[in-house]
Chain A
Amino acid sequence: MPPLREMRVLLLCISPSRDTGEINAEALSAADWSQLCDLSAWHGIFPLLASRLLATSSQQPAIQLPEVITAGLKTHQGIRLRGSLRLTASLVELMLEFERSGIRVLPWKGLSLGMLLYGSTALRESGDLDFLFQKKDLPAVLRITHDLGYELAGHHTSRSAYLYTLGLQGEFPFLRDQDKAALEFHLQILPARFSRWQNTPADIERASTVCKLAGHEFLMQRPEDMLLSLCAHATKHNWERLKWSCDIAQFLKTYGETMDWKPFLACLRRERKDAVVLLGLSLGAKLFNATLSPIAQEELRQSPGIASLSEAVAAHILSGSADTIEAWHEEAMVALLCPSVWDRFVFKARPIFDLNGDDFYIPAENRMLFFMNYLFRAARLLKKYGLRRLLGKTAVAVRSAR
C-alpha cells in the first residue's frame, strides 16, 4: 500500500530529527485533520503532535490551524498536563516509599521515560505506571502499594493462588479505586514465556540513569538496558505503534552519541539479542531519519533479513492501516525474540504447562504438596481435551518450535 499523506504529515510533525520550523503550511494545508488526529491517537503520539502543532502555529504566522483544531489541541493539552501531573504525583509518592523501605524499584517506560527522552512527562502517552522490581522485594511492594490504597487488579477468588499465577507471568497489576491510578510491576521486561529475556534483576542492580521528577531524583535503567528493553517490548507488540519507533529515534537523539556501540552490539550478538535492537534502530532511522552510529549501520548492512522486515513494518505503518500486521511479520517478531529452538519451545509450551486459577486444589502456602497442582492440571487438561488432542497441542508446540 502507498504511504498515506497524513502519515507523512504526522512523521514531519513529530520527528525528533526535525525542528518545528520544518513543519510548513503547504504540508499541513493538504492534511485531513480528523484523520491526522485519529492516526496520532492510535499510534500513541497525540500529545507530541498536539504540542508540536501548537508550538508551530504560535511561532510561524504563516501556519494557521483551523480554529476548531486549535481549540481541540489546547483542550487535549490541558487534559494531558493534568493527567501527567496526577501520574507524576503517584509515581513520586510510590518511589519515596520504596526508598524509605530500602528497596530498589525502577520506573520503567511511561512518563519517566517521557521526561528523559522528550524533556516532559506530558509528551509521551501513558495511562499507567510501570516498574521493574526484584522478586525478593515482592512482600515490600505488596505492603507499600496496599498502604497507599492500591489493590491487586483482576478477578480472583484466592489471593495466594492469584499471586502465584501472577508470579509465573512476572507481572503484578494494581489499581487504586479513588483515582483509578493503575500500576504494573514487572519482574522481567518480557513475560516468562520469553525465556531469553529473563535477566532484568541485572538491569536493576546496575541502573545508573538519573531521572529528575518533581524535585526528586530516581534511578532508571542504564541507557543500553533501556534501549534493549524498549526494543524488546516493541517487538513483542510487532512495532505496530509509531510511539515505539519514535521512542527509539528520541533515544538516539539523547544517548546515541555517548553510547559505546561496539561493545554493546557485540554483547547483544553473544546473547543473540542483537536482531531485536537492530530492527528498532532501522525503524528509527527509516521513519524518523534518526542518526545511527557507523557500526550500527554496518551491522544493518550485514543483516538483510532485518532490513527487509523493517521495510515491511515501516510500509505497514505508513499505509495508515489499523489492521494487524501480516502473519509472517508476527512470526518473524517471535523468531527475533526467541532465536533458539529451546526459546521457541518455551514460548509455545509454557502456556500449556503453567498453572492458572482453575488448578489450585492445594493452596500456594502448602509447599510440601503444592507440586500436586501440576498433576491436577494435567488431569484437568486431559479431561477437557482428551489424550489425543492434548498430545496434538504439545506436538504442534514442538513442531512450530523447530
Chain B
Amino acid sequence: MTPETPISVPSHVLAETLNDETVLLDMSNGMYFGLTPVASRFWKLLAAGTARDEINSILLSEFEIEPEVLKADLDALLAELEAKKLIDRTTV
C-alpha cells in the first residue's frame, strides 16, 4: 500500500477525542480501540481529510520522532486499523 492510497473511515466507526486521547468504537461489534497520542493526532488529521504526506510532515514537526520510525509506526497502525476494519483503503 502506498501513501497515495485513499483512506476513509467507515460509517460503523465512531471516534471521540479528548486532549491527546482518542477512542474508536466499532458499532458493528461493540469493540473499542484506544489510540496513543501520536496515533490520536494521526487519526484527527486523517478524519479531517489531510493527505498522508502532509500528515507525515505535521507529525514530524509536532513529535520528536525519526522519519523512518514514524513511517514504520504509521504503516503498522494502518495495517492494524485495516485488519480491525476501522478504516477502508481503496486501491485505485
Interface residues of A (CB under 8 A from B): 51, 54-55, 58, 74, 77-78, 80-82, 84-86, 88-89, 92-93, 120-123, 179, 214-215
Given A77-B21, A81-B21, A82-B25, also A120-B14 (CB < 8 A):
no
Q: How far is the CA of A84 from the CA of B21 in the complex (A)?
A: 14
Interface residues of B (CB under 8 A from A): 11, 14-25, 27, 30, 32, 34
Q: How far is the CA of A77 from the CA of B40 in the complex (A)?
A: 14
Interface centre among B16, B27, B32, B34 (most CB of A within 10 A): B16
Given A82-B32, A215-B11, also A121-B21 (CB < 8 A):
no
Q: Which residues of chain A are near B20, meaning CB under 8 Å?
A: 58
Chain B interface, DSSP helix/strand/loop, else mixed: strand
- Once the chains bind, are A78 and B34 in contact (CB under 8 Å)? yes
Q: Which residues of chain B are near A214, meaning CB under 8 Å?
A: 14
Q: How far is the CA of A123 from the CA of B11 in the complex (A)?
A: 23
Name 12 A/B residue pairs within 8 A (Cβ), A-sorted.
A54-B18, A58-B19, A78-B34, A81-B16, A81-B23, A84-B16, A85-B23, A89-B14, A89-B25, A89-B27, A123-B18, A214-B14
Interface centre among A82, A122, A214 (most CB of B within 10 A): A214
Residue of A nearest to B11 (CB): A215
- Once the chains bind, are A77 and B18 in contact (CB under 8 Å)? yes
Q: How far is the CA of A82 from the CA of B32 in the complex (A)?
A: 7
Q: How far is the CA of A122 from the CA of B15 in the complex (A)?
A: 11
Q: Which residues of chain B are near A54, meaning CB under 8 Å?
A: 18-19
Q: Which residues of chain A are near B19, meaning CB under 8 Å?
A: 51, 54-55, 58, 77
Q: Which residues of chain A are near B18, meaning CB under 8 Å?
A: 51, 54, 77, 80-81, 120, 122-123
Q: Give, as a whole number of angstroms, the nearest-CB distance from B87 to chain A.
A: 14
Q: Which residues of chain B are near A122, meaning CB under 8 Å?
A: 16, 18
Complex partner residue of A78 from B11, B21, B24, B25, CB under 8 angstroms = B21
- Once the chains bind, are B32 and A85 in contact (CB under 8 Å)? yes
- Once the chains bind, are B21 and A85 in contact (CB under 8 Å)? no
